[in-house]
Every structure is written in structure tokens, then in C-alpha cells.
Amino acid sequence: MGGQLVLTIAKWNNTELPIAYLITFRSYGTWLAGDERGSIDKYHNSFGGPRAVTSKNREMEHNARLKGPPFLLNAARRQLVEHAIRDVCSFRAWTLIALNVRTNHVHIVVSGQTSSGKILGDLRAYSTRHIRERNAWNYEQSPWADKGSRRSLWTEEHVGAASDHVINGQGDQLPKFD
């Protein structure tokens, strides 16, 4: 488990769609507004722009609004999410290029003849169903934070850089036990 390069890079498909996407989604309650790592809000949401100011009070306020506990991805949950992502990619005939399921977020480089919004939605939905069917999340709210990041990758260089970031830019290999 952990980060791994899955398939070779897709070639340009002669359509107006990018050749791949870098998709990232975060688990519920694990990175709140005001967090010391910085956060994004409606006033701080431009590419390369500044993040919202760190604020312990703001973070505590958002923490108090949580409808359940934060969703941390232990080894078993990471494996469930990884299997779900592989399943949806296979079912939809999308090319899974790189995948890394971390303790509080998921990175995927994927190619498919559809929108990044459809891909993000399906990845989250399959993952949610998979973990709920196995009783790894029994709360009413989604195990995922709202939205997610969707970056279009237009060249093989973009795909290579994104894949390297997913595989090698996320820190150490995670243990297979908890």
C-alpha cells in the first residue's frame, strides 16, 4: 500500500479535454479554517494566492461545528479507499496513473474522457460506499470535506510532475498497521 505509480502516462487524446487530472480530496474535520497550515476560504481562493490567516479561535469555532469526529484514514480505511478508487477507475474505464491515500487526504492522477467534477464525485462516492459497507464510517455526514481540488494536466510533463508529487512528495511511506 502507500504511494505507487500505477500505469504509464496517457498520450494526448486529440480532444479539448486535458490528458489527465490531479484530484485531491481531504477527509472530514482534519483541516479546518484557521489551521496553522493555512486554509482556503471564499476570500483566499485564488491559484498561488495567500491562504487565510492562522487563527486558533477560528479553528476552535469550526471544530465546534463538526457534526461528528474527524475521519482519519488508518491502515484499514486507507486500504478500503484504495480498493474503491481502483474499482471505480476500472468500472468507468479511467486510467489510474498514480494514487496515494494518506491519513487525512487522497491524491490521484487519473485520465478519463469526462469532466474532473464527475471524476472527483465518483471517487468520493465509491470510497464512501466502500467504507460504509464495511462499517468503517457510521456517521450521517460524509467522511470527506466539502469539495476537493481538481487540476487539469495538459501535457505529459504536467502528468509526470503531478505523478511525482503524488508518489514522492507526500512524506514517508505509511505503516500498514495502526
Question: Whose CA is closest to 63, among 102, 38, 30?
Answer: 30
Q: Cell 496515494 maps to which residue?
A: 100
- CA 80 to chain centroid, in Å, comes to 14
Name the more confident of 28 and 124: 124
Q: Cell 486535458 maps to which residue?
A: 18
- CA 65 to chain centroid, in Å, comes to 23
Question: What are the tens digits of pLDDT across the range 82-116?
Answer: 999 999 999 999 999 999 999 999 999 999 999 99
Domain boundaries, the chain: 4-29+70-168, 31-65
Q: What is the model's pLDDT at position 146?
A: 86
Q: Are 145 and 73 in contact (CB under 8 A)?
A: no
- CA-CA distance, 110 to 93, in Å (whole number)? 11
The full DSSP string for 100-120 is EE-SSEEEEEEE-SS-HHHHH
Question: What are the tens digits of pLDDT across the range 7-50?
Answer: 444 455 455 779 999 999 999 877 665 556 656 665 545 666 66
- CA-CA distance, 126 to 170, in Å (whole number)? 23
Question: What are the tens digits of pLDDT across the range 44-88?
Answer: 456 666 666 666 666 566 666 768 888 899 999 999 999 999 999
Residue 57 CA: distances (Å) to CA of 63, 76, 82, 132: 10, 33, 35, 33
81 φ, ψ (degrees, to nearest 5): -65, -45
Q: Is 155 helix (H, G, I), strand (E, B) or coil?
A: coil
Determine the Cα angle at 68 with ends 148 and 50, to 5°.
35
Could you tell me which CATH class the domain 4-29+70-168 is placed in?
Answer: alpha beta
- CA-CA distance, 47 to 52, in Å (whole number)? 13
Strands 105-111 and 4-5: unpaired
Query: For residue 144, is pLDDT > 60?
Result: yes
